[in-house]
């Protein structure tokens, strides 16, 4: 069942691009933007990840962290992050367990989905944006939601 607004975001622990384990609970007390994307270094995923990169300082100034998750290996993530100067953490969900737990699957469950979750400092999901083709919309919508959280 898909995670929706108002749900507590399920904790997870996955290897990062450096190979070290990262848990969602490591960020408790600050907002987190978690975005699931299909594959490193594909055109749409590169546009989306670079859009998060380009706005990363705005996320940081709002007190938030950004985490990207796909089924690619830590080594693939390391190359992707290095090639595009991605300043945030990329996590490897090799078996797509976390993706399935969050319900971030696409049409008929055939392809990995492109879904962004804005999670508040208490671990509650405040926004879900699900769009395979509006790559930059994930960043724009996440920023709008974060700004509303910070201003309340």
Domains and CATH numbers, the chain: 13-151 (3.40.30.10)
Give the mean pLDDT of the chain: 90
pLDDT of residue 109: 60
pLDDT in tens, 38-68: 999 988 899 999 999 999 999 999 999 999 9
Among this protein's residues, is 50 annotated catalytic? no
> Among the options 32, 45, 67, 115, which is catalytic?
45
Residue 107 has pLDDT above 70, yes or no: no
DSSP string, the chain: ----TTSBPPP-EEEBTTS-EEEGGGGTTS-EEEEE-S-TTSHHHHHHHHHHHHTHHHHHHTT-EEEEEESS-HHHHHHHHHHTT--SEEEE-TT-HHHHHHT-B-GGG-SB--EEEEE-TTSBEEEEEE-SS-TTHHHHHHHHHHHHHHH-
pLDDT tens readout for residues 62-87: 999 999 999 999 999 999 999 999 99
Given a cut of 80, is residue 106 above it in pLDDT?
no
Q: With a threshold of 0.85, does the pTM exceed it?
A: yes
Residue 122's pLDDT is 94
């Amino acid at each position: 069942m898909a995670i929706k607004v108002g749900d507590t975001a399920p904790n997870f622990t996955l290897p990062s691009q450096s190979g070290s384990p990262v848990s969602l609970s490591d960020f408790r007390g600050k907002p987190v933007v978690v975005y699931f994307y299909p594959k490193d270094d594909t055109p749409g995923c590169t546009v989306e990840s670079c859009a998060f990169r380009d706005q990363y300082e705005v996320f940081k100034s709002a007190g938030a962290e950004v985490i990207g998750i796909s089924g690619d290996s830590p080594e693939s993530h390391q190359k992707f992050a290095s090639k595009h100067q991605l300043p945030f953490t990329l996590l490897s969900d090799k078996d797509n367990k976390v993706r399935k737990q969050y319900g971030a699957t696409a049409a008929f469950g055939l392809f990995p989905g492109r879904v962004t979750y804005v999670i508040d400092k208490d671990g509650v999901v405040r926004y879900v944006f699900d769009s395979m083709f509006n790559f930059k919309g994930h960043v724009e919508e996440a920023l709008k939601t974060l700004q509303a959280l910070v201003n309340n």
